[in-house]
Amino acid sequence: MASTEQRLPTRERRPSTAAPIVDIVGSVSPAGISRPKHKRTFTGFGASEIKSVEAAIPEPQRDVWTKHQFEGFKTKDQFEKEVVRHVETTLARSMFNCDESAAYSATSLAFRDRLIKEWNKTQQRQTFADSKRVYYLSLEFLMGRALDNAMLNVGAKSTAKEGLSELGFRIEDIIGQEHDAALGNGGLGRLAACFLDSLASLNFPAWGYGLRYRYGIFKQEIIDGYQVEVPDYWLDFNPWEFPRHDVTVDIQFYGNVRKSQDENGKTVAFWEGGEIVTAVAYDVPIPGYDTPSTNNLRLWSSKAASGEFDFQKFNSGEYESSVADQQRAETISAVLYPNDNLDRGKELRLKQQYFWVAASLYDIVRRFKKTKRAWSEFPDQIAIQLNDTHPTLAIVELQRILIDVEGLEWDEAWRIVTSTFGYTNHTVLPEALEKWPVGLVQHLLPRHLQIIYDINLFFLQTVEKKFPNDRDMLRRVSIIEESQPKMVRMAYLAVVGSHKVNGVAELHSDLIQTTIFKDFVTIFGADKFTNVTNGITPRRWLHQANPRLSELIASKTGGYGFLKDLTLLNKLEEFVDDKSFRKEWAEIKYANKVRLAKYIKNTTDITVNPSSLFDVQVKRIHEYKRQQLNIFGVIYRYLKLKEMSPEDRKKQLPRVSIFGGKAAPGYWMAKQIIHLVNSVGAVVNNDPDIGDLLKVVFLEDYNVSKAEMITPASDLSEHISTAGTEASGTSNMKFVLNGGLIIGTCDGANIEITREIGQENIFLFGTLSEDVEDLRHAHTYGTHAIDAGLNQVFEAIKSGKFGDSNDFNALISAVRDHGDYYLVSDDFQSYIDTQKMVDEEYRNQDEWVSKCIRSVARMGFFSSDRCINEYAEGIWNVEPLAVGGN
């Protein structure tokens, strides 16, 4: 339950003033001058209030405010002045002790000051317009570094570069000081970040809502080849957030539900007792590109409602328990995806999800109530998008607010709820579709479980009416799974409680309608389901990550317009046969590879040759993404090289295999894959017979800023998930946009990328999704012969060539003995043959570069701007707000 009522302790401490605040009377301003007293409100004024307040401020006061309004820097001199001011006054340093870290802080603050100005104006403009607003709920926002993005989006990077140079700093060194915001892990969070960028760049009124993780998911260290998780202390200095200590929401857990009759004989429920935790808001400005629009990302942090320190306990000598409440509360927003192998971990995850959606909905509802509109207009003013199943409890929470707090009838409330929410599904993997034990929900959120049961009952009644002869359908679509123990199926709840459900690539959207949500298509009709293929923001993934390529493209396409309309890239096709253009293109790729090679040398002490083919697979480590197939392929290549004569070896194409990504702390198999990659690297990289012909590199702690360096340096990137398992993938888009080619399966967005860029510009292999189930069935119930080449690889591992074979037995037996669920053996020969084709084609550099140029030219479809326009039109029914350009 969210409430702002202050529970007053029995003895309230008064402010340390001569008189209690309420007793202060008399004027505190010169006679004859008055202005309306500003009563602090949690979300500022509503549209009507702000107009009346503005009218009530006397003209002379308004003039003074206007005269002294802050203006951000425009010129190099003004920028330098701002930086020096922040160094000297905010950081209390001087010319003599301003290091790169201080210069980063001062530069960020100078840009932040500029953003705040536009941010305030944007919020005022959106409030005045009082139009429909989008709220994007995502448990992850993988934002990356903010300074470089802010510089580019406000169009002042060259100003900052010159100014910093005159102050004695290189802009690259300053940008490199920033910690990545540790608010996500994989593609889900990066998609949310790209969407925020596009929403602001396209001038849509929108807010993001997430959690402010104190330690991120974790910082990955590789020690003796193993992943070790350590806290990510990214918040040590974060100039990009604004604590809103006055915007707090009390969130209730546990307790019990009491039902009684009101004076009209209506049954009302009261959720009582339990524990209260306070949510505190932190706001992050999100600047649009080439527009003054600056949207808001609001992150919630948890703290104890009772205060962080119990003086009584401390005085009694109970020093540890004097801070116990605070420590327990803080765990809620400490870490992204706490390990849920333990029951306590499961409870913490569910607690985290409710804490976040309850605080966000309280904020959204109170903002709506300021408009004094009828509840029936709620869906006309508000669109809430659920990014995957994590925020599904928002559906139940809004229903609870409407019926328990606001007193609406069930049917009216449910109509409002279902018209407000849209749900984006990101997976067809059954294990990734969240389910919570009924007992856990009952314990943690007793009122919500009652509402879930009611939602389910009314839903099943409508299904029963429609399909009276299909009793089994009721079991199949029930939100409550009748298993041991009973489970709440969150994906089903999300489908039932939303007006639109979308997949994130054509194949994925087809699969969800024919597999996991097949019955729901029958019940609701196909109109409820739609597809919005994912996209990426070209501002970060081309302009920021690869500035030289961006500049080259701008020189051929008539300026930087392609960053707002990516389809303008198609003009590049005219230059495919231009030798000097191809030469410059290849030089930029080589320079990016040199930069990555230096980074590899500095961080891993492995020397790689930049003229080798750079083969990259960087993403979350997961069996379905099949990093194991990649490393088995690397071992196979190594074994073949070892069999060759020295003369034959010289004819082979040198290759660097680059891996990166984190394994979830509780995911043992994924951690084994990381260990195998590092163990293979330790052998291959030190084999004098092999030299530069093959190098294996694992880059630790993969994140957005590392992706910005790796992506432009890739020749070939691997997107080799088992067909039908990857919903979309967006790193495939990033690699192609940066002039690299793909080796991949017919999965996710690879299919649409192939359609756009042409089959001749992508290396496809492997089983098709329609054959996967038959093969799995055959593995389990028929014969399952392991590919001969793969057997060679397994024997090499078992022989101890790469260290103790017992460490890797599970990876081998998953394929040999446990049904090879991810079809590693079935696809192995096809993978090896396709890699040979890659080697052949890479030798013809002229044709390879031409393929890269054609691919980039045809990537216009994969912009997140296109996605947002599709969501706005097909799901949210929301319009952009007109603003003047920069």
Catalytic choice (107, 389, 730, 745): 730
Please give the structure tokens belonging to residue 754. 């192939």
Do β-strands 382-387 and 294-304 pair in parallel, antiparallel, or remain unpaired?
unpaired
Dihedral sign for Cα 816, 818, 823, 826, please: positive
Please give the structure tokens belonging to residue 395. 């559906």
Catalytic choice (543, 625, 671, 866): 625
Instruction: Provide the 3-class DSSP secondary structure of residue 421.
Output: strand
CA dihedral 882, 883, 885, 886 (to 10 degrees): -150
How does DSSP assign 120-177, residue by residue?
HHHHHHHHHHT--EEEEE-S----B-SHHHHHHHTT-HHHHHHHHHHTT--HHHHHTT
Catalytic choice (349, 426, 508, 593): 426
Q: Reply yes or no on whether 426 is catalytic.
A: yes
Between helices 187-201 and 864-871, what is the axis angle to 10°? 80
Residue 295, φ and ψ in degrees, nearest 5: -85, 180
Do β-strands 219-223 and 382-387 pair in parallel, antiparallel, or remain unpaired?
unpaired
Distant-in-sequence, close-in-space partners of 111: CB < 8 Å, separation ≥ 6: 147, 150, 151, 154, 156, 160
* DSSP designation for 545: T
Q: Reply yes or no on whether 157 is catalytic.
A: no
Please give the structure tokens belonging to residue 354. 């409710």
Catalytic choice (219, 447, 489, 620): 620
Q: Reply yes or no on whether 671 is catalytic.
A: no
Residues 473, 494: Cα–Cα separation, whole Å: 18
Residues 615, 629: Cα–Cα separation, whole Å: 14
Do β-strands 133-137 and 382-387 pair in parallel, antiparallel, or remain unpaired?
parallel
Instruction: Provide the 3-class DSSP secondary structure of residue 295.
Output: strand
Q: Reply yes or no on whether 259 is catalytic.
A: no
For residue 667, CA distances in Å to 337, 670, 699, 729, 811 come to 12, 6, 19, 21, 13
Please give the structure tokens belonging to residue 175. 């940008």
Contacts 24+ apart (CB under 8 A), 648-651: 649/689, 649/693
Number of alpha helices (DSSP H) and beta strands (DSSP E) in the chain: 35, 23
CA 527 to chain centre: 28
Residues 613, 594: Cα–Cα separation, whole Å: 12
Please give the structure tokens belonging to residue 69. 């309004």
Please give the structure tokens belonging to residue 301. 């942090």
Q: Reply yes or no on whether 619 is catalytic.
A: yes
Residues 652, 843: Cα–Cα separation, whole Å: 10
On whether the CB atoms of residues 295 and 200 are closer than 8 A, the answer is: yes
Roughly how many angstroms between the first and final C-alpha of the chain, as a whole number? 43
On whether the CB atoms of residues 245 and 333 are closer than 8 A, the answer is: no
Catalytic choice (543, 619, 622, 858): 619
Q: Reply yes or no on whether 730 is catalytic.
A: yes
Dihedral sign for Cα 222, 224, 225, 229, please: negative
Residues 765, 80: Cα–Cα separation, whole Å: 54
At position 355, the amino acid (one-letter code) is F
Residues 338, 156: Cα–Cα separation, whole Å: 39
Beta bridge partners of 521: none
What is the length of the chain? 886
Active site residues: 426, 619-620, 625, 730, 734
